[in-house]
Amino acid sequence: MRTPTRIDAIADAHTHALAAANPTFATVLGLPGFDHLMGDASPAHHHEALALNKRTLAELDATPAADAVDEVTIAAMRERLGIENELIEAGEYRADLNVIASPVQMRDIFDLMPTATAEQWAAIAA
């Protein structure tokens, strides 16, 4: 078993911040506590995501890798967050309208939500 590192903590914090800002992302990941919420697709949301990504990248730059796993985590996060930042800065979110995976097409999120209890159904209704 590998002891979690500072890089792992940065990655986890980023994931939890994304979940709080985008509840449907949390549902897709299976993180509990967000199923009753919908995300914000406004320009302000995307600029907040850009700021979060930049803060996370700065933390990664300031934190040395403890091992090879950290090196892979850093490389993957730099690549993904860097591309996401480029897309946000280019305004690509304004054109995110398609029948499969746009913010408008949220029907499939309900298939991912648990339905075993009355509370879970109440989250879907909310």
| pLDDT band at residue 25 under the 50/70/90 scheme | confident
Instruction: Please say whether the beta carbons of 33 and 26 come within 8 A.
Output: yes
Q: How confident is the model at residue 123 (pLDDT cuts 50, 70, 90)?
A: confident
Residue 73 has pLDDT above 90, yes or no: yes
| pLDDT attached to residue 104 | 59
pTM given for the model: 0.76
Q: For position 100, what pLDDT does the model report?
A: 64
